[in-house]
């Protein structure tokens, strides 16, 4: 009679996982065993944030299981089999201007992450980072199966019930900054996070250590936020965040917040653009995430002139599509009012006939601001008496002149 000794279950090796992630096209990667040491703390903070109403209308963040625990509080809630999380970082930093650098007064701002594009059969077209990075996660998953055999896994890029930033911090990719973004000590915060959950255990790594918080006494992000979304260090109210307002929020935006939105028409980079850690971050060289030149400081008139068909043509496959055609027009109307340019009045007048409440209220408020600026003499008339060529050089809340 012979006895067989079963071989031990394979475990994830941190260095090997990182090498395979880089091979798959990511800039950096880390792995953490689940549950991790700070999981209960992070889950409690997330639940407190949601309970305080900071998530606004992002109802997917509020999903709970029977008993009331939020689905995103711990990875084990939706995935009880998960024993590890591999978190990958993809650098999207580029050499193009920052949002707080000088720009034409008639230009809007689209968040840096949404510029992504790639060359397909000789033609540049929008690239959706979700699809690009999910493909890489699946390639990483396949390589791990070659080495470890069969295991349970789930791959997510901004679409799954996990708090990517908390997992990334636990995996040693950086620290959570005062602007609530993950900051990598070398790559900064201009990065996408992608998560691969697995049922594999993680090898102990005595050399691994958590990256310490290096924000120090700096508070540039808090001071630069024009809507007060960063109301305290490490605390962000999404309902006041320009990224939330211009992308996730549907309908009308509070006039109080419109004034602080400056020229942002999709997302916002202000709290990252002022961060010292991003000033030294390397420029990304990812061929699937190259910037589309026309989206860098785009002309408000160009954006305003798009009908539904043109919007689809320009943004199908782009993150900008999430705002929707009407949402983008609403955001453009706000930026037009904040620009102080009288020549935008005719387009805004046209939009006051819109059946969409968000666009209607934004257009009315923008016209109000332009008229107030004219009365106060802040718009310089052109020689023929038309106020269309003048411009307010600075206004409170503009990201060109941080308050």
**Separation between Cα atoms, residue 262 and residue 100, nearest integer Å:** 11
Chain segment 124-153, per-residue pLDDT in tens: 999 999 999 999 999 999 999 999 999 999
158 an active-site residue? yes
Q: How far apart are CA 393 and CA 401, in angstroms?
A: 10
The CA–CA distances, whole Å, from 202 to 29, 30, 86, 140, 211 equal 14, 11, 10, 16, 19
CA distance linking residue 241 with residue 244, whole number of Å: 5
pLDDT of residue 395: 27
* Candidate list 120, 128, 158, 237, residue with the active-site label: 158
User: Given pLDDT bands bounded at 50, 70 and 90, which one contains residue 6?
Assistant: low
Q: How far, in Å, CA of 125 to CA of 159, rounded?
A: 23
Q: How far apart are the first and last CA of the chain?
A: 82
Q: Strand pairing of 116-120 and 290-291?
A: antiparallel
How far CA 334 is from CA of 35, 108, 373, in Å, comes to 45, 10, 15
Residue 96: pLDDT band with limits 50, 70, 90: very high
Question: Quick one: pLDDT band at residue 384, thresholds 50, 70, 90?
Answer: very low
DSSP 188: B
Residue 378 has what pLDDT?
59
Q: What is the largest CA-CA distance in the chain?
A: 105
With cut-offs at 50, 70 and 90, classify the pLDDT of residue 207. Answer: low
What percent of the chain stands above pLDDT 90?
86
Angular region, 155: left φ>0, alpha ψ -120 to 50, beta rest: beta
- How far are the Cα atoms of 63, 158, 336, 380 from residue 343, in angstroms, in the given order? 46, 39, 9, 12
């Amino acid at each position: 009679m012979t006895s067989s000794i079963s071989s031990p279950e394979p475990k994830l090796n941190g260095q090997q996982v990182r090498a395979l992630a880089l091979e798959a096209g990511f800039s950096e990667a880390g792995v953490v065993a689940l549950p991790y040491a700070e999981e209960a703390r992070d889950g409690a903070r997330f639940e407190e944030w949601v309970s305080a109403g900071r998530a606004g209308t992002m109802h997917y963040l509020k999903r709970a299981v029977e008993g009331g625990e939020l689905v995103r509080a711990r990875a084990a809630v939706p995935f009880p089999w998960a024993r590890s999380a591999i978190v990958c970082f993809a650098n999207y930093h580029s050499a193009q201007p920052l949002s707080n650098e000088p720009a034409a007064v008639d230009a809007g701002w689209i968040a840096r992450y949404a510029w992504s594009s790639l060359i397909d059969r000789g033609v540049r077209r929008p690239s959706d980072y979700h699809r690009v990075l999910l493909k890489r996660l699946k390639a990483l998953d396949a390589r791990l199966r070659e080495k470890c055999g069969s295991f349970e896994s789930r791959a997510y890029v901004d679409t799954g019930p996990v708090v990517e930033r908390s997992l990334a911090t636990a995996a040693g990719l950086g620290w959570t900054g005062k602007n609530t973004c993950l900051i990598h000590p070398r790559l900064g915060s201009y990065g996408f996070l992608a998560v691969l959950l697995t049922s594999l255990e993680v090898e102990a790594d005595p050399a691994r250590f958590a990256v310490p918080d290096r924000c120090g006494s700096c508070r540039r992000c808090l001071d630069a936020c024009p809507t007060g979304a960063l109301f305290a260090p490490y605390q962000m109210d999404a309902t006041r965040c320009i990224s939330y307002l211009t992308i996730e929020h549907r309908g009308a935006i509070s006039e109080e917040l419109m004034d602080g939105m400056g020229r942002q028409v999709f997302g916002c980079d202000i709290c990252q653009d002022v961060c010292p850690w991003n000033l030294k971050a390397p420029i990304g060289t990812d061929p699937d995430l190259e910037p589309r030149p026309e989206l860098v400081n785009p002309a408000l008139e160009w954006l305003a002139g798009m009908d539904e068909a043109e919007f689809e043509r320009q943004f199908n496959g782009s993150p900008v599509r999430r705002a929707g055609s009407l949402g983008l027009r609403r955001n453009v109307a706000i930026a037009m009012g904040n620009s102080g340019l009288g020549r935008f009045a005719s387009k805004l007048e046209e939009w006051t006939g819109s059946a969409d409440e968000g666009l209607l209220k934004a257009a009315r408020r923008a016209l109000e601001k332009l008229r107030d600026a004219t009365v106060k003499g802040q718009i310089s008339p052109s020689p023929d008496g038309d106020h269309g060529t003048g411009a307010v050089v600075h206004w409170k809340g503009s990201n060109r002149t941080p308050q």
